[in-house]
Chains A and B, each alone.
Chain A
């Protein structure tokens, strides 16, 4: 677990050279069918920093990630990716920003008509035309080896387990060497051993790639393991943000209840 000193160091190095945080979310609001899911969320994540977003089911954690990657539009508020406001961008304009981001879906969302290798190669095939076919193949090999699946190339998504799907999804998210990694429930639905393996993998990737990461989870143990900072959402707002020790020392009733039940 990260110490307060580690967090201070991470936050000090959080700002990239140009001064803008990797991800800055300001007063973000989003509603669906009249139901306010997010009611003014403000969060910042710097380079090399990992923020875990916790909360009960239905509190808008995944919606927050979908807003950041541009799969949903906010009702109000702003989202800045490395200082660039994403509001009003076209699909192709947003695409340029998405090239800097990797997204692991809760369900992994692998393309079921493609093999594992083709899934991982998908972003490379579309955005790295400068790479030769053999270079792309080598990159896919390296990514699959990195996530611990060196011999799964020709398997189909339907032939592999949930944990393996998450690994493949992670390899695909890393294909374009993103500066920002968004992980939606990376350990949900996995057994404790597989969850631990995914956590270790995420930690290893953070050490090696120095990406800014936002991890949405309801798994407090996983959040403690992989994040420098935690943000707990309640009723569409950030109830508390800080280290795990900050959460433990909080007097907020919801925070106490959440920690007690986790």
Chain B
């Protein structure tokens, strides 16, 4: 019925004077309080993930909301991701050219740009850009719905908010991140070529041919599809932070900030693990 993640005392009519004074932790017990808070957060995230998974895999499926979220996460993030990818491609081309010229290896420049963009820079930049735009959006939207009792109203209407709000957003992030990464990679490679050809003219066909020479799909597919994990992290953390918010406008702001900070942090940490996994599995 009621669950520990969604249901807090935030929306009751209790006044501050009704609540017993909060005990302030002594300096000695502060590390313990931080540690238990850390465990509490992960515990609640685990319960939340289970609720979302259980709601998401059982009918009825919220296809209309999923399509709306795919549009919101995907097409509305595309310009930002494309711009970030283009900037990264340009900068990489300029920086790599400088280094390659020093070692007399300018012919390696297309490969260096293509590999750098597709294997690492494109996925991580896309993850961070989306965690900023979409993470903040999901966190703030759900937090606002929480503090204005809209999530309670959804639940009171016999609609599962985990299914309608969280599962759709998380799935949209999982599906859209790889596609956005491909778009960001394409813009990065294109602008890498533009930056190269402005200094030393080369046809796009030649640039691509040199860039992808000797490579196979396993060089490019795992780094691209690892961003589905970034999508899971962004959607899950932002939905979790939003749906457990307490306390008015301040709570909404805090949820949006925490969504971005935590999602970005976990995307970077996940990248470290995933890169190692990909190297172990595919080398």
Contact = CB atoms under 8 A, between A and B. Distances in A.
Interface residues of A, number: 44
Interface in B130-169: 144-145, 148-150, 152-160, 162
Contact of A35 (B14, B60, B148): B14
B51 interface: yes
B3 A91 contact: yes
B281 interface: no
Contacts of A88: 1
Given A35-B19, A71-B7, A109-B149, A91 B60 contact: no
A72 B2 contact: yes
A57 B157 contact: no
Is chain B's binding surface mostly helix, strand, loop or mixed?
loop
A91 B14 contact: no
B28 interface: no
B157 A172 contact: yes
Interface in A41-70: 57-58, 60-63, 66, 69-70
Contact of A103 (B18, B148, B153, B160): B153
A94 B153 CA distance: 14
B61 to A, nearest CB: 12
Contact of A57 (B13, B153, B158, B159): B13
Contacts of A92: 55, 58, 160
A95 interface: yes
B158 A71 contact: no
B20 A33 contact: yes
Interface in B35-83: 51, 55, 58, 60
A173 to B, nearest CB: 8
Contacts of B60: 126
A197 to B, nearest CB: 22
B15 interface: yes
B12 interface: yes
B56 to A, nearest CB: 12
B12 A63 contact: yes
Contacts of B153: 103, 105, 109-111, 172
B9 interface: yes
A258 interface: no
Given A99-B158, A103-B156, A172-B157, A87 B150 contact: no
A157 to B, nearest CB: 10
A99 B60 CA distance: 15
Nearest to A102: B156
A91 B160 contact: yes
Contact of B150 (A61, A96, A109): A109
A37 interface: yes
26 contacts: A58-B13, A58-B14, A58-B17, A60-B12, A63-B12, A71-B7, A71-B11, A71-B155, A71-B156, A73-B7, A86-B1, A87-B1, A88-B1, A91-B155, A91-B160, A95-B158, A96-B158, A98-B156, A99-B158, A103-B156, A109-B148, A109-B150, A111-B150, A112-B144, A123-B159, A126-B158
